[in-house]
């Protein structure tokens, strides 16, 4: 394991040393009209740097809520989330936004591309509000390279409507990776795709993981997808357990 900047690179079977996440007693409740729903019920979880983890479980079990905690998109009701050794509760909203932008890539089931922007512009949009010192030509070059890396070097100027679902998800993956995040979080990334495309996307995610050694956490309904991960978690009624 060697580290270049914040990016861990896998060599051979060497195991990463650090801890990506440490969750202690994480509870998340939501108010729904006049009742309280417990989405996470006291989750204790350690995820080492560079692990590829699948998260499975029934609808409403708390998978997306867990990903929101890991992505610093929301704060727990109680308990603590440490990311790279830092307690996220100590960071203000602005620091959390900066952390998210710099260190975490997100991929969603519905791709979440901006429909009026080309593939290249969608990937470049990851730089909005950051990397302001870098010249636009350099950001454009990095975005183009990220699209080439996901096999879309010949689709830079296409709009999302001119791309297949699988291609749109590749654009979303390029956007998630263009800033070299330490972590990739994917919420049902193959949920909207047919089987062949599903296989291509999971191959791509697995390839990213093994080439870059980043931490990858994939929520999936699909056992076939989950079996590609190093570790499988099951979450039901807000409680997480390791699957064998
Ligand atoms: N923003 C929200 N407001 C109210 N309730 C929510 C919200 N997000 C999730 N929930 C509730 O929390 C529980 C867990 O949801 P979620 O994490 O989305 O599960 P999953 O992704 O496994 O389907 C569900 O009962 C859901 O209705
Ligand atoms: Mg969900």
Instruction: Scan for tokens 């990095």, then name that residue.
Output: 142
User: What are the structural domain ranges in the chain?
Assistant: 2-242
Ligand at shortest distance from the CA of 27: 1
Q: Binning pLDDT at 50, 70 and 90, where does residue 132 land?
A: low
For residue 11, the model assigns a pLDDT of 46
Average pLDDT over residues 51-71: 97
State the Cα–Cα distance between residues 173 and 169, nearest whole angstrom: 6
What residues line ligand 1, using a CB cutoff of 6 Å? Answer: 30, 32, 37, 39, 57, 59-65
Alpha carbon distance, N-terminus to C-terminus of the chain: 26
Q: Please compute, for residue 29, the number of CA atoms within 13 A of its CA located in the half-sphere on the CB side.
A: 12
**Helix (H) or strand (E) segment spanning residue 182:** none
Tokens of 15: 């195991």
The pLDDT, as a whole number, for residue 129 is 73
* Beta-carbon count within 10 A of 98 CB: 15
Q: Per-residue pLDDT averaged across 189-215, rounded? A: 95
C-alpha 62 to ligand 2 mean position (Å): 7
The whole-number pLDDT of residue 226 equals 93
- What residues pair up with 215 in beta bridges, in sequence order? 183
By alpha-carbon position, which residue is closest to atom 16 of ligand 1? 62
pLDDT in tens, 143-181: 999 999 999 999 999 999 999 999 999 999 999 999 999
- 224 falls in which pLDDT band (50, 70, 90)? confident
- For domain 2-242, the CATH class is alpha beta
Residue 7 has a pLDDT of 39
Neighbours of ion ligand 2 (CB under 5 A): 63-64
pLDDT at 14 over 60: no
The ligand minimizing its distance to the Cα of 187 is 2
């Amino acid at each position: 394991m060697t580290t270049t900047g914040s990016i861990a690179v896998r060599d051979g079977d060497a195991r990463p040393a650090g801890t990506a996440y440490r969750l202690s007693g994480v509870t998340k409740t939501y108010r729904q009209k006049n009742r309280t729903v417990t989405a996470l019920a006291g989750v204790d979880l350690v995820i080492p740097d560079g692990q590829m983890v699948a998260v499975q479980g029934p609808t409403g079990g708390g998978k997306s809520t867990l990903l929101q905690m890991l992505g610093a998109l929301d704060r727990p009701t109680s308990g603590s989330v440490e990311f790279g050794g830092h307690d996220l509760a100590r960071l203000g909203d602005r620091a959390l936004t900066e952390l998210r932008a710099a260190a975490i890539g997100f991929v969603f089931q519905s791709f979440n591309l901006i429909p009026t922007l080309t593939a290249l512009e969608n990937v470049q949009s990851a730089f909005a509000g950051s990397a302001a010192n870098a010249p636009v030509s350099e950001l454009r070059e990095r975005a183009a390279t990220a699209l080439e890396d996901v096999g879309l070097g010949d689709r830079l100027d296409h709009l999302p409507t001119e791309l297949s679902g699988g291609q749109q998800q590749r654009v979303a993956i390029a956007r998630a990776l263009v800033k070299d995040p330490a972590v990739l979080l994917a919420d049902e990334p193959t949920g909207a795709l047919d089987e062949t495309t599903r296989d291509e996307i999971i191959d791509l995610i697995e390839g990213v993981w093994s080439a870059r050694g980043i931490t990858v956490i994939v929520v999936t309904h699909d056992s076939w997808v989950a079996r590609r991960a190093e570790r499988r978690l099951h979450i039901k009624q807000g409680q997480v357990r390791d699957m064998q």
